Chain A
Amino acid sequence: MVAIALLSIFGAETDEEPVLSGAWKLSLLSELPIGTTGVVESLDLPGEIQHHLMHMGFVPEARITVVRRAPAGDPTVYSIDGFEVALRRDTAKAIRVREYEGTNTR
């Protein structure tokens, strides 16, 4: 437990990538900054996992908001259809999103 606490404080990864301006930008879910909302374009994951995620609501046209990152910088908590789900960056990378216009307030 001590190890976990230490690693999650000091082993933190930096992630925030530079935000480009412009409406309706295509990007990966993992690249969205905290507080922004994206609209799902497509998923590209192994069959069963993709299936599972889609039944949790990760389907095209669903809106996803980035809520917060875990203390270590990964996984990230996303909000979709009013509930919160945590995904690792590896998984979020496989979800393509349109950045939602007007809500990029970071």
Chain B
Amino acid sequence: MSSCCSTETIELPSEPRLPGRIRHVALVGPPNSGKSTLFNRLTGLRQKVANYPGVTVEQRVGRLNGIGLPDLTLIDLPGIYGLDSYSEDARVAVNVLHGEMPGTPTPDAILLVLDSLHLRRQLMLAAPVLALGLPTLVLLNMSDLMDARGGHIDTLALAKELGVPVAKISATRGAGLDSITHFLNRKAEPDASPSLTKIELPVVGNARSYRQWAHGISTRTKYKAPVSNQATKRIDGILLHRIWGPLVFLAVVFAVFQVVFAIGQPLSDGFGNLLNGAGDRVAPLLGHGWLESLAIDGVWRGVASVLVFLPQILLLFLFIGVLEDSGYLARAALIADRVMRSIGLNGKAFIPLLSAYACAVPAIMATRTIENKRDRFATILVAPFMTCSARLPIYMLMIAAFIPNKPLLGDFFGLRAAIMLSLYVLGFVAALATAWLLKSSILKASSAPFILELPQYRLPTVRSLSLRLVDRGRVFLRQAGTVILAVTLVLWILSHVPFHAALGESVIGRLGHFIEPVIRPLGFNWKIGIGLLTSVMAREVIVGTLGTLYGADPATQSLGLQAALRHDLTLGGAMALVVFFAFAMQCTSTIAIVRRETNSWRWPALQFAYMSVLAYLAALATNQIVLAFLH
């Protein structure tokens, strides 16, 4: 591949083949050039954005409400380097552009988003995109950063070279967006005067001629790259340092857990008092009959026992947001690549696995950036082992109820945070071990290459962090207001049927006692057993279930949930329960997404069975070990 065709060119009319009305506009650009940030600006929607390549793995359609053009739809696409598909996410983008994606309209205009900090290389994509012949507006994103850091480009000359309009914008700040309105309004008129300029494009599909073409243009348009790499290089000097790098990595992880406990716990306790206080104040209004029992002891106790954890979950998401938006995540993947490779996985798998700390569902979708199919499936199968935020409530509840608040490393790191951290490590080790098993058996494959672009560091904006927290808070509240509310309602009814029966004699009590023999060896009682059943819907449901069941039991009604659990469970049972949750796949959304991404029921069924058996055995072992130590 060393010497061939250099500057053969073909000529294309710069105006569109179809001079009709524009209805569907596509956002096209290289990975991490800011397409989704712009999408959110233009549509007013909340597509996930972060500072690493490959955040968007699926097309997303929205109306251009943000700039007052609600008749037009905007299609956000995964980032691409060229129009030849390589990974699953790039294939999506190319299919949409060619109108081969069922359910997504074929775009009839393009907004080409290029990162102006790296224009010389990003321009390479302009060649194949312009060759599509659609009306195109080239947007030089992050131009505020380029200007601030001493970069420069002659946009007029660039527009002449490319034969299409060019505008400098900043999607984060919302600057320069009126150029998009102008472009779409002008192009939307059927008789917009066609310009007669002809431009020269390099031979289609030849990367080398694309690059020469792009370099020629950036020279002729006097492009001067900003001197921005220095800050990133200095930070990387520490964060990727041989010794400091991994140590900083560990320190960050410790700090996250300590803060979630030291600051999050008091916040949650305060919030919990507030919620219970509200319940107590409403209670007298309902009289002393079954209505009070249903509303307060049943539903409110159940829902509130989950809601309490909102502050801690938001804190965790704040940390994840900072990691993702700053650009550190890609470095973490780089540090982890060696470990990932020794178990047979691609270092890129580390990014989905890290984002699985928030939730496994987006993480499983994010595996689309992994090019090798077997690597991708292995990552999908192990992602649910990563400790997602839905496990946080049950972990927090059990640890706060059973583990004393003893300092370990001075005030910096306490026993509770240590137990919590070890649960996270447990999930991670299970993920790695399972991946190794899979890669050395049914998903064996030759090692796939690791090609990862490192984004420049960026300071996360308050706006983007707070949007994340608001969105996350909403999801959490919706879950509490729907699934958990419904479950507690049904549980309360089942625990009061037949009427005037004791809790143990009610329908739910009998069901619980029926399954109790199976879970007795794990140190669980029948109430926990019911919780295990309901939490198949979603993990946090168990906390609501326990809140309702202990609230319905006269023996523990007057105690708080933590005290009720201490009254009813041994330390062995409590620890066995959190270990069970570390391993079990209790989440219908995850099962559904695995089914969708692997296109078969075989994988999610295998996964569910494997994780359940593992959870049962590990919980059994935990309970027996704790028992042996205590006696």
Chain A residues packing against B (C-beta within 8 Å): 1-9, 11-12, 41-43, 45, 48-57, 59-62, 67-68, 70-75, 77, 79-88, 90-91
B471 at interface by CB-CB < 8 Å:
no
* A50 nearest in chain B by CB position: B1
Max chain A C-beta neighbours (<10 A), residue from B81, B425, B429, B432 = B81
Is B246 a contact of A42 with CB atoms below 8 Å?
A: no
The answer for the CA separation of A5 and B225 in the assembled complex, in Å, is: 35
Is A77 a contact of B240 with CB atoms below 8 Å?
A: yes
Assuming the A-B contacts A52-B81, A86-B454, A90-B449, are A8 and B208 also in contact, with contact meaning beta carbons closer than 8 angstroms in the complex? no
The answer for the CA separation of A86 and B52 in the assembled complex, in Å, is: 13
Is A12 a contact of B86 with CB atoms below 8 Å?
A: no
The answer for the CA separation of A52 and B369 in the assembled complex, in Å, is: 13
B539 at interface by CB-CB < 8 Å:
no
* A10 nearest in chain B by CB position: B246
* A46 nearest in chain B by CB position: B449
Chain B residues near A72 (CB, 8 Å)?
A: 335, 337-338
Within 8 Å by CB of A83, from B118, B233, B236, B428, lies: B118
Chain A residues near B338 (CB, 8 Å)?
A: 7-8, 11, 70, 72-74
Is A4 a contact of B82 with CB atoms below 8 Å?
A: no
Within 8 Å by CB of B124, from A9, A55, A79, lies: A55
Within 8 Å by CB of B335, from A8, A57, A87, lies: A8
The answer for the CA separation of A87 and B208 in the assembled complex, in Å, is: 20
The answer for the CA separation of A106 and B337 in the assembled complex, in Å, is: 27
Chain B residues near A11 (CB, 8 Å)?
A: 338
* A58 nearest in chain B by CB position: B207
The answer for the CA separation of A86 and B509 in the assembled complex, in Å, is: 58
Chain B residues near A75 (CB, 8 Å)?
A: 334, 337, 347, 450, 452
Q: Does more than half of chain B's interface fall in helix, strand or loop, or is it mixed?
A: helix
Is A85 a contact of B211 with CB atoms below 8 Å?
A: no
Chain A residues near B432 (CB, 8 Å)?
A: 3
Is B246 a contact of A8 with CB atoms below 8 Å?
A: yes
Within 8 Å by CB of B210, from A55, A67, A86, lies: A55
B447 at interface by CB-CB < 8 Å:
yes
Within 8 Å by CB of B240, from A5, A54, A62, A70, lies: A70
B19 at interface by CB-CB < 8 Å:
no
* Least distance between A70 CB and chain B CB atoms (Å): 5
14 CB-based A-B contacts, threshold 8 Å:
A1-B249, A48-B371, A57-B121, A59-B211, A71-B240, A71-B246, A72-B335, A81-B211, A83-B118, A84-B229, A85-B453, A86-B453, A87-B449, A91-B450
* B 534-590 contacts with A by CB, 8 A: none
B241 at interface by CB-CB < 8 Å:
yes
B193 at interface by CB-CB < 8 Å:
no
Give the size of the chain B interface in residues (CB under 8 angstroms). 54
B605 at interface by CB-CB < 8 Å:
no
Is B337 a contact of A1 with CB atoms below 8 Å?
A: no
* Least distance between A29 CB and chain B CB atoms (Å): 13
Is A41 a contact of B250 with CB atoms below 8 Å?
A: no
Q: A-facing mask of B382-395, CB < 8 A → 1, else 0?
A: 00000000000000
Chain B residues near A80 (CB, 8 Å)?
A: 121
Chain A residues near B82 (CB, 8 Å)?
A: 51, 55
The answer for the CA separation of A65 and B429 in the assembled complex, in Å, is: 36
Chain A residues near B454 (CB, 8 Å)?
A: 77, 83-86
Chain A residues near B236 (CB, 8 Å)?
A: 68, 77
Is A82 a contact of B225 with CB atoms below 8 Å?
A: yes
Assuming the A-B contacts A48-B86, A57-B121, are A3 and B1 also in contact, with contact meaning beta carbons closer than 8 angstroms in the complex? no
B599 at interface by CB-CB < 8 Å:
no
B245 at interface by CB-CB < 8 Å:
yes
The answer for the CA separation of A57 and B240 in the assembled complex, in Å, is: 24
B242 at interface by CB-CB < 8 Å:
yes
* B 440-496 contacts with A by CB, 8 A: 447, 449-454
The answer for the CA separation of A80 and B81 in the assembled complex, in Å, is: 14
B339 at interface by CB-CB < 8 Å:
yes
Chain B residues near A59 (CB, 8 Å)?
A: 207-208, 211
Is A87 a contact of B210 with CB atoms below 8 Å?
A: no
Is A71 a contact of B242 with CB atoms below 8 Å?
A: yes
* B341 nearest in chain A by CB position: A88
Is A70 a contact of B337 with CB atoms below 8 Å?
A: yes
* A53 nearest in chain B by CB position: B451
Is A1 a contact of B453 with CB atoms below 8 Å?
A: no
Within 8 Å by CB of A5, from B211, B247, B337, B450, lies: B247
Inter-chain pairs besides A5-B247, A43-B1, A82-B225, 5 sampled, C-beta below 8 Å:
A3-B432, A7-B342, A51-B207, A52-B81, A86-B337
Is B121 a contact of A85 with CB atoms below 8 Å?
A: no
The answer for the CA separation of A12 and B121 in the assembled complex, in Å, is: 33
The answer for the CA separation of A79 and B425 in the assembled complex, in Å, is: 34
* B81 nearest in chain A by CB position: A55
Chain B residues near A83 (CB, 8 Å)?
A: 118, 121, 453-454
Closest 6 CB pairs of A and B: A54-B207, A5-B246, A72-B338, A55-B82, A81-B121, A55-B81
The answer for the CA separation of A12 and B242 in the assembled complex, in Å, is: 8
B630 at interface by CB-CB < 8 Å:
no
Is B337 a contact of A88 with CB atoms below 8 Å?
A: yes
Q: A-facing mask of B324-354, CB < 8 A → 1, else 0?
A: 0000000000111111011000010000000
The answer for the CA separation of A55 and B82 in the assembled complex, in Å, is: 6
Chain A residues near B232 (CB, 8 Å)?
A: 84
The answer for the CA separation of A75 and B330 in the assembled complex, in Å, is: 13
Chain A residues near B240 (CB, 8 Å)?
A: 68, 70-71, 77
B147 at interface by CB-CB < 8 Å:
no
Within 8 Å by CB of A51, from B84, B245, B424, B429, lies: B84
* Least distance between B340 CB and chain A CB atoms (Å): 9
Within 8 Å by CB of B451, from A52, A70, A81, lies: A52
Is A2 a contact of B250 with CB atoms below 8 Å?
A: yes
* Least distance between B228 CB and chain A CB atoms (Å): 9
Is A4 a contact of B339 with CB atoms below 8 Å?
A: yes
* Least distance between A68 CB and chain B CB atoms (Å): 6
The answer for the CA separation of A75 and B486 in the assembled complex, in Å, is: 50
Chain B residues near A43 (CB, 8 Å)?
A: 1
Is B334 a contact of A70 with CB atoms below 8 Å?
A: yes
The answer for the CA separation of A51 and B425 in the assembled complex, in Å, is: 38
Within 8 Å by CB of B339, from A7, A41, A81, A88, lies: A7
Chain B residues near A79 (CB, 8 Å)?
A: 229
The answer for the CA separation of A53 and B451 in the assembled complex, in Å, is: 8
Is A1 a contact of B451 with CB atoms below 8 Å?
A: no
Is A90 a contact of B447 with CB atoms below 8 Å?
A: yes
* B 215-263 contacts with A by CB, 8 A: 225, 229, 232-233, 236-237, 240-243, 245-247, 249-250, 253
Q: A-facing mask of B116-151, CB < 8 A → 1, else 0?
A: 011011001000000000000000000000000000
Is A71 a contact of B451 with CB atoms below 8 Å?
A: no
Chain A residues near B117 (CB, 8 Å)?
A: 82
